[in-house]
A and B are shown apart, each in its own frame.
Chain A
């Protein structure tokens, strides 16, 4: 804002302008920054979704070439089950991640409850070690587990495969469950447990009747995270599998190396994305509706 100080008509004295008080007009700068901001969000959105869009195009492309588009088709979606290797890999992926998620959700919840009631020193020590699987590089985790499992080879020559990959997945998904459940436990009213015990319930039963319902949301979000991590894992699975037990990532890595990736795998990937989108949108609608209902209930009170 360019303006020199004016002279007052009444008193003849100089009046300081806004600019002299240190005010600067930033409207133009603000507007341009806002445009840059939205541009950035747009770029980020493209970055996140470009490859998924390309994968979707491949999945409806009649030609199996990655450079030319024939015509629109849904044939690859029906060929997923026909391709033996692919359907085996998909089955293995689901087998490993569902088993690992269920086991680590159950065990992780129990461990979190145990940690909640443990001494502060013990809890701190365990939580420090709990960060190792979380923050360690995948390649180091994979190699470490492979080395440990190799020690078992003399006793069980066929241990590599489903058992090792399952243990590895439980190993790196447990910390997510624990980290999601632990904060919910400290939100519980401690008297709740005491009341349940006073009323004559067994502690083991109180666990299922009192604590589990109270930490349900933490368990669910931990479970979702564990499944996401397990489902998409490549590096740790790559190092800990064996005896021809391939999950989807390992199979894709091999196929990329051999340059014979079938478009059916793009179709499967698109199904997963659409499924996840549907589930997440539904969960979103449900949570909004619950929040509204809660508000109405509180208003009535």
Chain B
């Protein structure tokens, strides 16, 4: 009699096919076409779109995306692991409070937060004005690579801490006690028991930080002030200029990178328990 409930899931599968898979195939088709917008009048088949992948601007953007996403992810891993560990070891057993502290900043608009950061990176800003400090004009961070990394780390750090904290919570405390009883000191216990058992949280967190860092376009645009172009900015430009063909090509490049990352996560975290 519960069979009648099954019917409720079927429309969702169709919905997913329609909105997740069909557009992907559509994009793959678009790669091999040359046309203006989605105008079907002057349509022609071509491989020329792939030449865009050899353009210096695209390569620099891809390189930038990788470089900044990688640096930000590494910083997030270090800061995120240490703070997740301290939170886990502290006597705050109230997970809800930890979640609240981490999620609250996300309620504030991402673009506003980024703009606020961009403003205080200028040599003259509201903090120097309030405190009455005079800062050297050359001390400006605005428009530099460091600014972009700061923006990415500040924004995506919670996405690293949450999965690591979740993974640490699932580590059986008795295993640590057993290790200590058997003569390992705290550091050996950490490196041989706690770290390996919570490593899947690190992997999940890394993917959840790396992917949005790599594909975003608002943060590099606001904090990079046009000096730093990432792949997201190029895709946005192509779609803005109605060049859907090259835009789709670059989007598919990102999609392939995402699929690789999902495969990596699946390898480490089969139950999918740290993805939330």
Contacts and interface: CB of A to CB of B under 8 A. Distances in A.
Contacts of B105: 48-49, 51-52
Contact of B276 (A29, A179, A207): A179
Given A144-B27, A171-B19, A193-B2, A118 B125 contact: no
Interface residues of B, number: 97
A83 to B, nearest CB: 15
A259 to B, nearest CB: 10
Interface stretch (A9-17, A74-82, A134-142): A134-142
Interface stretch (B42-50, B53-61, B139-147, B248-256): B248-256
Dominant secondary structure at the A interface: helix
Contacts of B19: 133, 144-145, 148, 167, 171
B232 A234 contact: no
A67 interface: yes
B10 A136 contact: no
A117 interface: yes
B22 interface: yes
Contact of B5 (A47, A114, A252): A114
Contacts of B24: 144
B258 A231 contact: no
A134 B20 CA distance: 11
Contacts of B1: 197, 203
Interface in B1-22: 1-13, 15-22
Interface residues of A, number: 95
A239 B239 contact: yes
B251 to A, nearest CB: 5
Interface in B171-217: 183, 185-187, 207, 211-212, 214-217
A280 B104 CA distance: 9
A48 B107 contact: no
A163 interface: no
A273 B107 contact: yes
B49 to A, nearest CB: 15
B217 A51 contact: no
A214 B276 CA distance: 21
Interface string A173-211: 010000100000000000001000100000100010000
A58 B222 CA distance: 18
Interface in B94-135: 94, 96-97, 100-117, 119-120, 122, 124-127, 129-130
B108 A51 contact: yes
A139 B254 contact: yes
B94 A284 contact: yes
B2 to A, nearest CB: 5
A136 B258 contact: yes
B154 A47 contact: yes
A130 B39 CA distance: 32
Interface string B80-104: 1011011100000010110011111
A146 B27 CA distance: 11
B120 A54 contact: yes
A55 B16 contact: no
B8 A113 contact: yes
Nearest to B22: A148
A272 interface: yes
Contact of B20 (A24, A115, A133, A256): A133
Contact of B124 (A67, A133, A148, A239): A67
A203 B12 contact: no
Contact of B251 (A38, A115, A139, A197): A139
Given A66-B119, A144-B23, A54 B9 contact: no
Given A24-B185, A114-B6, A232 B106 contact: yes
A111 interface: yes
Given A52-B108, A235-B218, A269-B109, A43 B79 contact: yes
Interface of A: 22, 24, 26, 29-30, 36-38, 40-41, 43-45, 47-52, 54-55, 57-58, 61, 66-69, 107, 110-111, 113-118, 122-123, 125-126, 129-140, 143-148, 150-151, 153, 167, 171, 174, 179, 193, 197, 203, 207, 228, 231-232, 234-235, 239, 248-249, 252-253, 256, 261, 265-266, 269, 272-273, 276-277, 280-281, 283-284, 287-288
14 contacts: A26-B185, A55-B112, A55-B113, A114-B8, A114-B12, A122-B9, A126-B12, A130-B16, A135-B262, A139-B254, A140-B258, A203-B2, A228-B107, A280-B100
Given A51-B112, A116-B5, 5 more contacts: A26-B187, A114-B8, A252-B115, A265-B112, A266-B112
Among all A-B residue pairs, the 7 with the closest Cβ atoms: A114-B9, A114-B8, A144-B23, A137-B215, A51-B113, A40-B82, A54-B116
